[in-house]
Structure 1
Amino acid sequence: MKFATKAIHAGQEPDPTTGAVMTPIYQTSTYWQKAPGDHKGFEYSRGTNPTRKALEDCLAALENAKYGLAFSSGMGATDTVLRLLKPGDEVITGNDLYGGSYRIFTKVYEKYGIKFHFLDLSKPENILPHINENTKLVWIETPTNPTMRIIDIEGVAKITKQHKLILTVDNTFASPYLQNPMDLGADIVMHSVTKYIGGHSDVVMGALLVNDDQLYKDLWFIYNACGATPGPQDSFLVLRGIKTLHLRMKAHCENGEKVARYLKNHPKIDKIYWPGFEDHPNHDIAKKQMRGFGGMVSITLKGADLQETFRVASSFKVFTLAESLGGVESLINHPTTMTHGSIPKAEREKVGVTDNLLRLSVGVEDIDDLLADLEQALS
């Protein structure tokens, strides 16, 4: 089954009671049992819910995985992976990643004796000197947030398999339409479903996708025991959003490329980050492991201080200054005071997340309106 067909049909059958084509919202906390233990797979909605199960099966199909788990947020999904660890374990991750991931790594789990190594992962072999008997997990995101660094998933996976480490890939920026880390050797794929998968800025959700039976059982135990699971209304909204994922991603990619090329030589732009440019670091890897370059573009403003950067960020009329990304509407974000504010300034600046950097989530509006908005805001 091809992607577009899976997006519309995977995990979803007509309702057996009414024949409804759309998966019903099973707004119930508990389920009738004919006898104790005779519950047809559904007991209590923290652990299982038919609407959520349809979504999880659909997400698994989109990532070419056996199992899916949906969470009440992307951070809930991230937290569940980290709960596989114990004090003394070590994690290898990138030095350019989402501020919320950095925050939970350093402010929450380091307190429990888990050590994190933040590395330049532009080359997979950079991992090798940091692997020891305590290393249990490698966590990567690609493209990275917000400088769009590309990490070779297949190259990293070869190393993690050799050393029996769990490889988790945050696939939020690419979406399953553009990239499938499971096919490249990942053990766990994580999504902030809030972003491209939901696609309409009206729901907060996360997901984990896995193939290994035991790993799924371990994650499901934490998922059920700790309870960071979403309700049926949110699950319904995401199922509805997924039905147009392939159409939206095509439009995001088309507009993203036009915006990136327009800004490439703009006199007010110092640097531009978009993996579709041939001079973008690891562009060849992006071409190999992705089916398009997405709708995320980051820029630094030439000679701009914080005040001027704020002025530009606040001058847009079509782009909305806001947190998040991946919705049909175009958003602009100032990472150092918004999504990456929890990362110390010195650490941010090492990887290029400076005060004059802005991150664009290019939506699916008419491209002429987006370009005109960029021109007036930058003037």
Structure 2
Amino acid sequence: MSEQRSKADHDRWQGFSTKAVHAGFDPDPQTGVVNVPIYASSTFAQDGVGGLRGGFEYARTGNPTRSALEASLAAIESGTYGRAFSSGMAATDCMLRAALRPGDHLVIPNDAYGGTFRLIDKVFTQWGIEYSVAPIADPAAVREAMRPSTKLIWVETPTNPLLNVGDIAAIAELAHAGGAKLVVDNTFASPYLQQPLTLGADVVLHSTTKYLGGHSDVVGGALVTNDEELDVAFAFLQNGAGAVPGPFDAYLTMRGIKTLALRMERHSDNAEAVAEFLSGHSAVSHVIYPGLAEHPGHAVAAKQMRRFGGMVSVRLAGGIEAARDLCSRTEVFTLAESLGGVESLIEHPAAMTHASTEGSELEVPADLVRLSVGIEDAADLVGDLEQALA
């Protein structure tokens, strides 16, 4: 169902916002409802043995609300197949199990998300999977990290939390030359700012909890691809392992997608203002934001992204104590994990989201603070940081 609907949507509409608002669901012919209903049913009546009405039998296998979300996800990522999961980590787990077998090898960023690293390092290595780390901003280093057994290159761009930028087209080319697949975690950029499948990636992954849902009220994940064989594997694991979103979760995520373009423009506007303010502050030793001309990945980001997003990281001149102090003093920025919601958040990655990387090659600097810049008034955000740094 999701494949047919997304293909039709691609044919009908070219604009991103039109797809975001309409893809996945047409007004119901009987009632005229313009918004996708929440089909709160675990089971579906059949027209005779094996006669599935609308293709649905049991909600773990498929649900109309989830199918609508999956079609929307495929459309906004310019993909053919979309699969929704109960969390971003559930999508990550499915991706790894679909692509890798004992003895296989993958390459991950040297500053990957802590949860991704933890799953690979603590779980998949027990099953005979090996991994290497590489700075994804350097395609030559990624190539050097590959082996004959490399089956997957895992890229975040921008990365979490150091906001490094990988050249998706260049890495896709070297991955395919080595017989590997490229998966891009597009969570930080969102489909509005960046479309990895159009740049050569094989799979796009999202924590839909973040910018796609956008309101800090739902947890979810997604995989989108044009590769039918991979999608068959995703569908089998999605059903067989059962890490699927409920219909209300799917509804909330789809509702968030409708305003994604508007929100990402505001997130980007505000992040630019915050980055500019912090760049001139004496308490800050380094501002990390791809939109700044001095960012080493600025040119690549400008090439493959529509804008530079809502995430800003900073290193404090006063070290770890200054970083912790900043996190405790903000009033508009809320001290919390996660990101991508309408409200601004602040966190200390070394002690929070990336604590699992301590002592590893991926350990993050102790003086680093990560900001998820929301859609509030920019003057209030800047003012809040100004008083917190005073």
TM-score, length-scaled by structure 2: 0.94
Q: Which residue of 2 aligns with 1:94?
A: 109
Contact 2:134–2:145 (8 Å) recurs in 1: no
1:281 to 253, 271, 296: 296
Local SS of the residue matching 2:112: coil
List per-residue Cα deviations over 1:187-229 (Å, max 9, x = no partner): 1100000000000000000000010111111111111111110
Closer/same/farther in 2, CA of residues 336 and 297 from structure 1, 3 Å limit: same
1:373 maps to 2:377: no
Specify which of 59, 66, 71 is matched with residue 80 of structure 2: 66
Q: Please, which moves more after superposition, 337-346 or 64-73?
A: 337-346
**1:138-287 aligned within 5 A:** 138-287=153-302
2:36 to 23, 33, 36: 23
Structure 1: how far apart are the matches of 2:359 and 2:265? Answer: 35
Verify the 8 A CA contact 1:170 1:189 in the aligned structure 2.
Answer: yes
State the partner residue of 1:364: 375
- Give matches, 1:129-144, under 5 Å: 129-144=144-159
CA apart distance, 1:279: 1.3
Q: CA deviation at 1:17?
A: 3.6
Rounded to whole Å, the distance in 1 between the matches of 2:297 and 2:34 is 44
Tell me the amino acid that sits aligned with residue 300 of structure 1.
Answer: R
Distance in 2, Cα, partners of 1:220 & 1:97: 26
Q: Unaligned regions of 5+ residues in structure 2, if any?
A: 1-12
The separation in 2 between residues aligned to 1:80 and 1:25, in whole angstroms, is 25
Between the aligned partners of 2:380 and 2:143, the Cα distance in structure 1 is: 47
Please, which of 101, 118, 142 is the counterpart of residue 103 of structure 1?
118
Q: Deviations over 1:294-347 (max 9, x none)?
A: 01000011123x333222211111000000000000000110011000002453
Distance 2:226 2:45 in 1: 31
Provide the residue aligned with 1:4 in structure 2.
17
Mapped pair 1:57 → 2:68: no
Could you say which residue in structure 2 is the equivalent of 1:312? 326
Tell me the residue number matched to 1:78: 92
Tell me what 1:355 maps to: 366
Asked if the contact 1:325–1:331 (Cα under 8 Å) also holds between the matched residues in 2, the reply is: yes
8 A contact 1:142–1:148 mirrored in 2: yes
Offset at 1:110? 0.7
Q: 2:329 & 2:103 partners in 1: Cα distance? A: 48
Measured in 2, the distance between the counterparts of 1:277 and 1:164 equals 35
Instruction: Report the Cα distance in structure 2 between the residues aligned to 1:128 and 1:55, rounded to whole angstroms.
Output: 36
Is 1:324 the equivalent of 2:338? yes
Distance in 1, matches of 2:249 and 2:108, equals 30
What residue in structure 1 maps to residue 347 of structure 2? 333
Amino acid at match of 2:47: K
CA distance in 1, matches of 2:74, 2:40: 23
Q: What's the secondary structure of 2:273's corresponding residue?
A: helix
SS at match of 1:347: coil
CA distance in 2, matches of 1:99, 1:17: 47
8 A Cα contact 1:15 1:24, kept in partner: no
Larger displacement relative to structure 2 (105-114 or 11-20): 11-20
For 2:356, what is the secondary structure of its paired residue? coil
1:149 positional shift: 0.2
C-alpha separation in 2, matches of 1:240 and 1:322: 23
Q: Distance in 2 between matches of 1:96 and 1:264?
A: 22
How far the C-alpha of 1:113 sits from its partner, in A, is 0.8
Which residue is 1:42 aligned to? 56
Task: Compute the displacement of 1:167 (Å).
Answer: 0.7
Tell me, in whole angstroms, the C-alpha distance in 2 between the residues paired with 1:314 and 1:146. Answer: 19
Gaps of 5+ in 1: none
- On the 8 A contact 1:92/1:130 being kept in 2, the answer is yes
Aligned residue for 1:29, secondary structure, equals: coil
Distance in 2, matches of 1:239 and 1:17, equals: 22
Q: Which amino acid aligns with 1:77?
A: A
Identity %: 53
- Which consecutive segments of 4 or more residues in structure 1 shift more than 6 A? none
Q: Post-superposition shift, 1:86?
A: 1.2
In structure 2, how many angstroms separate the alpha carbons of the residues matched to 1:74 and 1:151? 20
Whole-angstrom distance in 2 between the partners of 1:128 and 1:142: 17
Aligned partners of 1:83 and 1:66: how far apart in 2? 21
Tell me, yes or no, if structure 1 residue 343 matches structure 2 residue 334: no
State the distance in 1 between where 2:264 and 2:144 align. 38
What amino acid is aligned across from residue 172 of structure 1 in structure 2? Answer: T
